[in-house]
């Protein structure tokens, strides 16, 4: 039988281990073992993309992500999953076995998933405007991100607007 003393000692050991290991192991707050809690949309990432669009410039996806300050950690690929999507669909596409929480149920958003070393490193809900890659495609930290002038059809006719294009593979 567990005594309160042993439970407190185990809790303290876990806390100390977490404080010592987490900063050096690339652990992220949104991930706990094989569980991923999908974060809310990042206004700082949207701001990084918007600055690139406003400047009509280009960068790498890794630089844009880094500038935004979102806690992605080390990652190799970014995938976009358009909602509604469930965790089994994401696991099947990525070859992972993860318990997902916080996935959106609407059809107006996407989930951006960052993967490194075969593990999910970070995931967040991406509402409009969305900046992602196509279905069954992925981007890397070295992917070129550029603002491009795009012709768009509106109810009032054709117009042009600056949009973000992310180099994708797959």
Q: What is the pLDDT of residues 131-165, one digit of tens each?
A: 999 999 999 999 999 999 999 999 999 999 999 99
Q: Is residue 148 part of a domain?
A: yes
Of the pLDDT bands very low, low, confident and very high (cuts 50, 70, 90), residue 22 is: very low
> Could you give the number of structural domains in the chain?
1
- Which range (18-22, 55-59, 83-87) has the least confidence? 18-22
Q: Is residue 3 part of a domain?
A: no
- The DSSP result for 69-105, as a single string, is T----S-SEEEEEESS--HHHHHHHHT---EEES---
Q: Is residue 20 part of a domain?
A: no
Q: Is residue 120 part of a domain?
A: yes
pTM of this structure: 0.77
Instruction: Name the residue range of residue 46's domain.
Output: 28-166
Q: Is residue 62 part of a domain?
A: yes
Q: Is residue 134 part of a domain?
A: yes
Q: Is residue 74 part of a domain?
A: yes
Task: Indicate whether 88 pLDDT > 70.
Answer: yes
- The DSSP result for 135-147, as a single string, is TT-BB-TT-EEEE
* Average pLDDT value for residue range 56-66: 98
Of the pLDDT bands very low, low, confident and very high (cuts 50, 70, 90), residue 85 is: very high
Q: Is residue 7 part of a domain?
A: no
Task: Indicate whether 112 pLDDT > 70.
Answer: yes
């Amino acid at each position: 039988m567990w005594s309160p003393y042993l439970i407190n000692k185990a809790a303290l050991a876990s806390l100390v281990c977490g404080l010592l290991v987490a900063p050096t192991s690339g652990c992220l707050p949104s991930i706990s073992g094989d569980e991923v809690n999908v974060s809310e949309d990042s206004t700082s990432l949207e701001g990084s993309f918007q600055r690139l669009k406003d400047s009509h410039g280009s960068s790498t996806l890794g630089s844009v992500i880094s500038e935004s300050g979102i806690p992605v950690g080390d990652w190799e690929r970014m995938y976009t999953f358009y909602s509604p999507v469930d965790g089994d669909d994401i696991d099947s596409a990525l070859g992972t076995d993860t318990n997902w929480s916080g996935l959106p149920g609407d059809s107006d958003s996407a989930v951006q998933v960052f993967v490194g070393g075969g593990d999910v490193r970070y995931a967040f809900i991406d509402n409009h405007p969305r900046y992602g890659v196509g279905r069954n495609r992925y981007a890397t930290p070295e992917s070129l991100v550029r603002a491009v002038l795009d012709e768009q059809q509106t109810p009032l006719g054709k117009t042009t607007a600056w949009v973000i294009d992310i180099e994708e593979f797959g």
